[in-house]
């Protein structure tokens, strides 16, 4: 959270900068509001949420007679919280409750940070004393399974792999099967993220999920989105959302040139909570998404 704060606060972040400019304005005239609106849109917050936020703020500032930066900050904080929706359930369902392991499917376009996220997530679970197994169901890229296994070794968990080009569903099945045999708490399955055709993707992910569920329930489907890709990431995310029941979003690379507002947009567009954020390439650079911390960091 400290690091997320450091990233979001200050000059680097367009959303934060826009919000603070409103708070430090001498007078709130039309120009100030216009500038504010333009900055929010450029921060990847999206036109819809921006317009809504600006309209609400303008009305509240007027009705409640805002006369100090403190009061303005209070209203801004309240409205931002509403925008990110603190009521959504952001807990991860990746710990088994009965005999079967919990299965977490990690999906998303290649390059977004799927494999890295699987590694980081395994690390979190291992630190909580959970037994974890990884499944390398991205069988199309030779390097993918290799990379996953390297992550596994790094965090001390085994990886089930298949031959290159083998059926992703059969590798996923084998991984979950081994997980059941070994009595692990969680099997995390890394999948291929080729956006060749929507039907191809649908068939593939659908099959992976169906086949796994012959063995154990898929308790979490995490969609990994690269926060630096803005609208493109959003378009890709919509496609995944349509082909598989996504239960949570992982927004990676928030340490990079991401503009912060994408968190709000992604979540609203997909109707799925952002559960985790990626803040770097290291094993410990994954954090639960904390709404209040996020909003406070923006207003710091």
Tokens of 92: 């991860």
To ligand GDP, the closest distance from the beta carbon of 118 in angstroms equals 8
Collapsing DSSP to helix, strand or coil, 272 comes out as coil
Is 284 annotated in some ligand binding site?
no
Note the residues at the interface with ligand GDP (CB under 6 A): 108, 110-116, 147, 193, 252-253, 255-256, 278-281, 285
Residue 111 region, left (φ>0) first, then alpha (ψ -120 to 50), else beta? left
Q: Which residue is nearest to ligand GDP (CB)?
A: 278
Nearer to ligand GDP, 113 or 152 (CB): 113
Is 62 annotated in some ligand binding site?
no
Dist CA 219 CA 205 (whole Å): 15
To ligand GDP, the closest distance from the beta carbon of 249 in angstroms equals 13
Dist CA 132 CA 188 (whole Å): 7
Is 51 annotated in some ligand binding site?
no
Nearer to ligand GDP, 55 or 164 (CB): 164
Is 192 annotated in some ligand binding site?
yes
Pairing of the two strands 274-278 and 286-288:
antiparallel
Nearer to ligand GDP, 19 or 276 (CB): 276
Would the CA dihedral through 184, 129, 151, 273 be positive or negative? positive
Is 110 annotated in some ligand binding site?
yes
Is 115 annotated in some ligand binding site?
yes
CB proximity list for 81: less than 8 A, separation 6 or greater: 291, 292, 295
Question: Order of strands across the sheet with 132-137?
Answer: 158-160, 132-137, 186-191, 102-107, 218-226, 248-252, 274-278, 286-288
To ligand GDP, the closest distance from the beta carbon of 222 in angstroms equals 12
Nearer to ligand GDP, 22 or 160 (CB): 160
To ligand GDP, the closest distance from the beta carbon of 190 in angstroms equals 7
Write out the binding residues.
Answer: 108-115, 190-194, 252-255
Write out the binding residues for GTP.
Answer: 108-115, 190-194, 252-255
């Amino acid at each position: 959270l400290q690091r997320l704060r450091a990233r979001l606060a200050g000059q680097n972040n367009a959303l934060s900068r826009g919000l603070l400019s409103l708070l430090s304005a001498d007078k709130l005239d039309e120009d100030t509001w216009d500038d504010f609106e333009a900055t929010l849109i450029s921060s990847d917050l999206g036109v819809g949420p921006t317009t809504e936020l600006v309209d609400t703020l303008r009305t509240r500032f007027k009705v409640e007679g805002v006369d100090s930066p403190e009061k303005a900050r209070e209203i801004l904080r309240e409205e931002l919280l509403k925008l990110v929706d603190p009521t959504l359930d952001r807990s991860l369902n990746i710990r088994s409750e009965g005999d079967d392991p919990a299965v977490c499917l990690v999906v998303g376009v290649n390059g977004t940070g799927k494999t890295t996220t699987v590694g980081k997530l395994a690390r979190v679970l291992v630190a909580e004393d959970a037994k974890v197994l990884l499944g390398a169901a991205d069988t199309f890229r030779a390097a993918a399974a290799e990379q996953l296994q390297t992550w596994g070794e790094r965090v001390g968990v085994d990886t089930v792999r298949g031959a290159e080009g083998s059926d992703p569903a059969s590798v996923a099945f084998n991984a979950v099967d081994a997980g059941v045999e070994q009595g692990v708490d969680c099997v995390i399955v890394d999948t291929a993220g080729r956006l060749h055709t929507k039907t191809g993707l649908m068939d593939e992910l659908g099959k992976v999920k169906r086949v796994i569920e012959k063995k154990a329930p898929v308790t979490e489907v995490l969609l990994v989105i690269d926060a630096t890709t803005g609208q493109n990431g959003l378009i890709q995310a919509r496609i995944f959302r349509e082909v598989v029941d996504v239960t949570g979003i992982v927004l990676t690379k928030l340490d990079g040139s991401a503009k912060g507002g994408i968190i709000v947009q992604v979540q609203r567009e997909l109707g799925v909570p952002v559960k985790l954020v990626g803040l770097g390439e290291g094993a410990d650079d994954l954090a639960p998404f904390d709404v209040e911390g996020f909003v406070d960091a923006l207003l710091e």
